[in-house]
Amino acid sequence: MTNRDKLLSVRNLRTEFKTQNGPVRVVDGVSFDVGRGRIVGLVGESGSGKSITALSLMGLVPSPPGTVSADSIILDGTDLARLNGDEMRRKRGREVSMVFQEPMTSLNPVKTMVQQVGEPLAIHTGLNKRAIREKVLQMFETVGIPEPKARLDVYPHQLSGGLRQRAMIAMGLICEPKLLIADEPTTALDVTTQAQILRLMMALRDRAGTAIIMITHDLGIIAEMCDEVNVMYAGQIVEQANVFDLFDRPSHPYTRGLLASIPKATEKRTAERLNSIPGVVPNLAKLPAGCRFHPRCGDAMPICKLKQPELTDLGNGHKARCWLHDKEGAKA
């Protein structure tokens, strides 16, 4: 990917939180790119750092107790890491927007939908109330909200989960941002509504050219929607690849474990248990020495317990953070 093709380029993103026992780094040296009009996935178990990565990019990590730093976060030529609070607020909502995980807790219960969805327009464009109302109505139609005119003046509790999520997407896209970050946008929705939301996001990407960072733990969504994938574990990216390479030749033991845990449709029903990865994501305040995945890894070697591996380039943009693919690990 050339620099001209890159919309977002993140280098060495780090996020720490102060605790009673000292600072805890929950995002540790994350680097990735997002191409213009591309959908890039961030996948991993709960607690792997996906949502904090998104909040860090948006400048929404509360400080204190959080501290965000990076070598660079280049969005269409502007380094977000060097912007102050006022400058970032002018970017947020207009050039980069976010759809949050749970719309019922993200929406203000005492504001109508037209007030909330139209707020980015009021902040960034200075349109009058009538023009904002017309724009919100158009966006409601675009995202497939039925009877959109009747929904303008209702409150969040008067909408179903699927309609609230559509309204959140409408809010994120109302200013036609260059980049949309979608944090588990289909959580707690039924399967039919999930499919509708995902089709909607892909259609909007195709129509407006908006790039999307899709945060999820669902590999089915990754396979259906994404062009490139970043697998996160314990605050780090452990594998990067285009979506076809990731599913055809997963190279990190953690990625292989995630893929192996997906239920498979077979002609014969068996009583076999589903595959699972033993153990849990480690406590970020008490990380194991060496590779962070080694206590759960069936391929762990002595070097894995002593030294942390770097991302190794496997060719064609495919990278894995594992001693199995490193020359030093091969010698060991």
Sign of the Cα pseudo-torsion (74, 78, 84, 88, in order): negative
Q: Which domains does the chain have, with CATH numbers?
A: 6-226 (3.40.50.300)
Backbone angles phi and psi of 238, in degrees to 5: -105, -15
Q: Which two tokens stand for residue 70?
A: 């990076």
This prediction has a pTM of 0.90
Which pair of structure tokens corresponds to residue 142? Answer: 């675009």
Element (H, E) at 139: helix 129-142
Question: Between the CA of residue 293 and those of 13, 129, 171, what are the distances in Å?
Answer: 20, 53, 38
pLDDT in tens, 228-254: 999 999 999 999 999 999 999 999 999
Q: What is the largest CA-CA distance in the chain?
A: 69
Least-confidence region, from 124-138, 164-178, 184-198, 259-273: 259-273
User: Average pLDDT in the 138-152 region?
Assistant: 90
pLDDT in tens, 283-309: 898 999 999 999 999 899 999 999 999
Q: What dihedral angle (degrees, nearest 10) is formed by the CA atoms of 175, 98, 19, 74?
A: -70
> Which of these ranges, 230-234, 267-271, 278-282, has the smallest mean pLDDT?
267-271
Highest mean pLDDT out of 45-49, 114-118, 162-166, 324-328:
114-118
* Lowest pLDDT segment from 14-23, 154-163, 175-184, 320-329: 320-329
